[in-house]
Amino acid sequence: MTVFVIRRMLQALLVVFLMSVIVFFGVNIVGDPVYMLVSPDADQADIEAAIRRLGLDRPILEQYWLFLKGAAQGDLGDSFIFGEPALKLILHHMPATMELAFSALILAIVIGIPLGLYAGLYPDSRISKGIMAVSIFGFSLPTFWVGLMLIMLFAVELRWVPATGRGDLGSFLGIQSSLFTLDGLSHIFLPALNLALLKISLAIRLTRAGVREAMGQDYVKYARAKGLATRRIILVHVMKNIMIPVVTVMGLEFGSLIGFSVVTETIFAWPGMGKLLIDAILQLDRPVVVAYLMIIVLFFVLINLVVDILYSILDPRVRLQDQGA
């Protein structure tokens, strides 16, 4: 197990390094932020002074080396626009994105797995066919359009919940979140549902496929032959085996919920990292864009690492295969 974890950590470090190269050079070859910062009436001397102040007069390889040295110390550079550390800005907006992604993941699990379980147990029923038809819409409909329709229906027409904003924050065990107040829950409902729709469809199809496969396995037939109750067979034998791929996929999807919440946060004016990224891109604030992308890379790598370890615990054959490779 120790060798397995060390190998996965070394692979994770290599991925982070390679992604830092792609992210840094990809962002720094696009556009010229200097002209976004200086006055239109600025002369050449003012422009050159701004270039030196931002460190853009140095060779790109030297800029990357300075970025790596700073990143090793937790410094991802200062924002061109706000003049503050980019990491500080990201961390300030991170709680809002995390609670949105967490809420969407909970909705996906609470709604998707039971529906998928029912569709797998009763595949020929009309309800199951309806569930699978709805899951197709979840995959097909664009997020921005669904978000606008949710606002029109629940916020404008029915006026059940607010359309935008984060709502009031509450405190529990020293943690501040909008999840701890009724006003906050009412504000997060629409964006969380919008962000979760694709994952709900994924959970439905993944669970249904796992149930259909498990119900035909010998251990299920043996359990039935022993006279075990159907409820016990499903909850103990079937669910235990299908949860391995479900845990793996949903764990990885949590990273995508964080990384791809940009559209949802923009539509619902949710003050998270995604909205900050859009503003930084429009203003060519390179340090903020690089810091955001690197943090998302770290999220994906760490989540992947944790999922690999959990998977190896649930299924020891994974460690044996890794050792054989």
| Per-residue pLDDT at 321 | 54
Concatenated DSSP letters of 2-46? HHHHHHHHHHHHHHHHHHHHHHHHHHHTS--THHHHS-TT--HHH
The answer for residues whose C-beta is within 8 angstroms of residue 237's C-beta and 6 or more apart is: 214, 219, 220, 223
Backbone angles phi and psi of 279, in degrees to 5:
-60, -40
What pLDDT sits at residue 115? 92
DSSP H/E element including 177: strand 175-177
Q: Which residues contact 203 (CB under 8 A, 6 or more apart)?
A: 108, 109, 111, 112, 113, 115, 116, 246, 250
What is the predicted pLDDT for the residue at 323?
53
Instruction: Report the pLDDT value the prediction gives residue 239, as an integer from 0 to 100.
Output: 82
Token pair recorded at residue 159: 């006026």
Q: What are the pLDDT tens digits along the chain (325 aa)?
A: 677 677 778 888 888 888 888 888 888 877 777 776 777 777 778 778 878 877 777 888 888 898 888 888 888 888 888 888 888 888 888 888 889 999 999 999 899 989 998 988 888 889 999 999 988 888 888 888 999 999 999 989 888 888 888 888 888 877 888 888 898 889 999 999 999 998 999 989 988 888 888 887 778 787 888 877 778 888 777 887 787 777 778 777 887 888 778 888 888 988 888 888 888 888 888 888 888 888 888 888 887 777 777 767 666 655 545 555 5
Bridge partners (DSSP) of residue 85 are 78
The per-residue DSSP string of 125-164 comes to SHHHHHHHHHHHHHHHS-HHHHHHHHIIIIIIIS--S-SS
Among 122, 37, 148, 140, smallest CA distance to 83 is for 37
Q: What share of the chain is helix, strand, coil (3-state, %, to 5)?
A: 75, 0, 20
Contact between 42 and 54 (Cβ < 8 Å) = no
Specify the pLDDT at position 192.
92
Check residue 30 and give its pLDDT. Answer: 73
Instruction: Give 171's strand partners.
Output: 176
Q: Given this model, what pLDDT does residue 279 score?
A: 84
Q: What is the model's pLDDT at position 194?
A: 92
pTM: 0.78
Please tell me the predicted confidence (pLDDT) of residue 20: 86
CB atoms under 10 Å from CB of 175, counted, come to: 12
Per-residue burial over 65-103, b = 16 or more CB atoms within 10 Å of its CB, e = otherwise: eebeebbeeebbbbbbbeeebbbebbeebbbbbbbbbbb
Using CB atoms within 10 A of its CB, is residue 287 exposed (0-12), middle (13-18) or buried (19+)? buried
Domain layout of the chain by residue ranges: 90-320
Q: How far apart are CA 48 and CA 276, in angstroms?
A: 28
Give pLDDT, residue 229.
Answer: 79
Q: Do 147 and 267 meet the contact criterion of CB atoms below 8 Å apart?
A: yes
Please report, for the chain, how many H helices and E strands are present, in that order.
15, 2
CA angle 207, 102, 316 (to 5 degrees): 50
pLDDT at 1: 64
DSSP string, 210-264: HHHHHTTSHHHHHHHHTT--HHHIIIIIIHHHHHHHHHHHHHHHHHHHHHT-HHH
Q: What is the pLDDT of residue 308?
A: 74
CATH code of the domain made up of 90-320: 1.10.3720.10
Q: Locate tokens 């037939």: which residue?
A: 221
